[in-house]
Amino acid sequence: MRASDVRAMTSEDLRIRLQETRRELFNLRQQWYAGSLQDHNRLRAVRKDIARFLTVLRERELATDKEEGAAV
């Protein structure tokens, strides 16, 4: 998923997507440990997607804090 696509999502959608992606990562790790994982590159892609989601959520959190600090 591209960063521009992630930034276009709402915060609630990001949280839902983050939860789903973490579940997918868990399942991929289970497959890897069992030796049945077909696409090893998917592990890396899922980890990067999680990092993108967390980064955008943190950026929004900091922007909100900055706005509140300026209003005080």
Q: CATH assignment of 3-71?
A: 1.10.287.310
- In the chain, what are the domain boundaries? 3-71
Average pLDDT over residues 6-16: 95
- What backbone torsions phi and psi does residue 47 show, to the nearest 5 degrees? -60, -40
Confidence of residue 1 (pLDDT cuts 50, 70, 90): confident
pLDDT of residue 54: 97
Would you place residue 68 in the very low, low, confident or very high pLDDT band (cuts 50, 70, 90)? confident
- Give per-residue pLDDT as tens, 25-62: 999 999 999 999 999 999 999 999 999 999 999 999 99
Q: What is the pLDDT of residue 48?
A: 97
The DSSP line for 11-59 is HHHHHHHHHHHHHHHHHHHHHHHHT--S-THHHHHHHHHHHHHHHHHHH
